[in-house]
DNA sequence: TCTGGGGTCCTAGGACCC
DNA sequence: TCTGGGGTCCTAGGACCC
């Protein structure tokens, strides 16, 4: 009994619900009279340095792709209208979609803002023998009815199969691969279509003459391991056959939080960088406290004028959560990075990871109060500030005061 | 054409401990 | 005396995804 994807109850029933050009759809829903009427619509950064986040299908006919610099997209499709990403609305719609899916499926895992894996294994009797494609179509219609967003669903007994099947489902459709048909299904696709194979790996594959999943499936596993390493090789051997044991896991926990900004023009001035660093630290800090977490590791990221990207990080023995402490650590990391290379800065970012649960504010701070980066008092103040901001808006209290203490 | 912002995972080397 | 092996944590960088 070693057939992969076959549990004791039979094959798993996995679906991937993927929103069609999500950001474009949301932009249209938010502004039906404006963006809603533009067939050639691009959503993305409008600054001189932005990229396209999402392009309408009509605009894709011109060769526009997401991730493409906006300047390039304008060249390819001069008549297109570019609108900014409606961030807040996207987050709201995403939550609404998720809520609908959770009504319809026992297990839902958000893979990104616009993609959700569902595991319907064990629902056969509940759904009175409805086959997976019919279930998928029912879900597609329900999501559209309740949220206004068109989604496509791919399905199969493995995540990777559901994912690749989504390509055939778009737009606004369904494609389910029957159990047992995985290998034949996967063999139709170029290796570039497999999730996890990007430009770098694609190049190494091409160097061995491998371009399609069928090419790779024809090679002995031993050779794949020799060429690409044991892990990569085994992974590839499985994926091109549609084998994927990974599960749909509903209890996902955030592992990192970050905030970064690409500047309109490169910044060389240290004081200006420090001001930006402060803003980023505050943004990360408020998100962290909003999730009732603390971070042990703080990371600062710099992208220099020439696109060289560097980072420095530091791990504390205990988690911190206040803007002041995050900024204090970030500032010394920034100095380290600037000392290593002092060049014009294109992008600056602050990230936190190694996240730990918040402890009650008054507990556990009796020792080493002086030595720690952050005192119980600091945390009490930070949380009070958060409450005021939540009630009266972000601008009710400006960040600078809290961080103006002289001792750093 | 000139490269966003939010993430996850992997690797490799060094420190440190037993 | 002159050098083992394994585990874990940390750091930096890179690949990849949407």
Q: Which ranges of chain A have pLDDT less than 50?
A: 1-6, 361-370, 401-402, 404-408
Asked whether residue A296, judged by its CB, lies under 7 Å from any atom of the DNA or RNA strand C, the reply is: yes
Active site residues of A: 115
Q: A347 to each of A261, A267, A276, A278, A308, how far by Cα in Å?
A: 6, 9, 10, 14, 10
Q: What are the distances in angstroms from CA A24 to CA A37, A79, A171, A225, A317?
A: 12, 16, 13, 41, 44
The whole-model pTM stands at 0.91
Looking at residue A370, its pLDDT comes to: 42
**Residue A197: predicted pLDDT:** 97
What span, in angstroms and rounded, lies between the C-alpha atoms of A55 and A65? 7
Q: Provide φ and ψ at A294, rounded to 5°.
A: -125, 160
Residue A358: the pLDDT is 83
Cβ(A225)–Cβ(A234) below 8 Å:
yes
> CA A319 – C1' C3 distance (Å)?
38
Longest dimension (CA), chain A: 69
pLDDT tens for A23-51 read: 999 999 999 999 999 999 999 977 889 99
Please give the pLDDT value at position A5. 46
pLDDT recorded at residue A360: 60
Q: Cβ of residue A9 near strand C, that is under 7 Å?
A: no
Cα A147 to Cα A235: distance, rounded to the nearest angstrom: 37
pLDDT digits (tens, 9 = 90+) for A52-72: 999 999 999 999 999 999 999
Answer yes or no: is A26 CB < 7 A from strand C: no
Q: Which of residues 107-126 of A touch strand C (CB under 7 A)?
A: 111-115
Q: Which nucleotide is nearest to A347 (CA to C1')?
A: B4
A48 close to A9: Cβ distance less than 8 angstroms: no
Residue A230 CA to C4 C1' — how many Å?
Answer: 26
Looking at residue A395, its pLDDT comes to 73
Q: Which residues, 6 or more positions from A346, have their beta carbon under 8 angstroms from its beta carbon? A: A49, A262, A263, A266, A303, A304, A305, A307
Return the pLDDT at A363: 45
CA of A361 and C1' of B10: distance in angstroms? 36
CB atoms within 10 A of CB A193: 14
């Amino acid at each position: 009994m070693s057939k992969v994807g076959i549990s004791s109850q039979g094959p798993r029933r996995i679906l991937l619900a993927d929103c069609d050009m999500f950001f474009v759809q949301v932009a249209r829903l938010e502004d039906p009279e404006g963006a809603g009427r533009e067939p050639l619509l691009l959503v993305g950064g409008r600054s001189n340095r932005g990229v396209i986040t999402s392009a309408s299908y009509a605009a894709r006919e011109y060769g526009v792709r997401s991730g493409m610099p906006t300047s390039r997209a304008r060249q390819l499709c001069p008549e297109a209208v570019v609108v900014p990403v409606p961030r807040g609305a996207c987050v709201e719609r995403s939550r609404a979609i998720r809520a609908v899916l959770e009504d319809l499926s026992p297990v839902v895992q958000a893979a990104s803002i616009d993609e959700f894996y569902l595991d319907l294994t064990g629902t056969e009797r509940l759904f009175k023998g409805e086959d997976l494609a019919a279930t998928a179509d029912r879900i597609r219609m329900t999501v559209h009815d309740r949220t206004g967003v068109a989604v496509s669903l791919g399905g199969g007994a493995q995540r990777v199969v559901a994912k690749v099947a989504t390509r055939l489902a778009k737009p606004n459709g369904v494609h389910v691969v029957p159990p047992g048909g995985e290998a034949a299904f996967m063999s139709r696709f170029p290796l570039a279509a497999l999730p996890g194979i990007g430009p770098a790996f694609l190049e190494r594959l091409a160097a061995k003459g491998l371009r399609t999943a069928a090419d790779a499936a024809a090679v002995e596993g031993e050779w794949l391991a020799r060429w690409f390493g044991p892990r990569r090789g085994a992974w590839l051997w499985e994926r091109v056959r549609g084998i994927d044991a990974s599960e749909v896991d509903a209890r996902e926990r955030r592992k990192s939080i970050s905030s970064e900004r690409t500047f309109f023009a490169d910044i060389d001035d240290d004081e200006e960088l420090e001001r930006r660093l402060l803003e980023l630290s505050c943004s990360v800090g408020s998100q962290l406290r909003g999730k009732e977490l603390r971070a042990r590791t703080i990371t600062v990221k710099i992208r220099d004028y020439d696109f060289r990207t560097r980072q420095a990080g530091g791990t504390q023995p205990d988690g911190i959560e206040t803007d002041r402490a995050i900024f204090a650590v970030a500032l010394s990391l920034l100095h380290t990075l600037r000392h290593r290379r002092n060049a014009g800065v294109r992008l600056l970012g602050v990230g936190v990871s190694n996240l730990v649960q918040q402890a009650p504010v008054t507990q556990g701070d009796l020792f080493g109060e002086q030595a720690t980066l952050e005192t119980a008092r600091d945390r009490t103040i930070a949380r009070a500030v958060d409450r005021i901001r939540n009630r009266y808006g972000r601008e009710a209290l400006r960040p600078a005061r809290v961080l103006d203490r002289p001792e750093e």
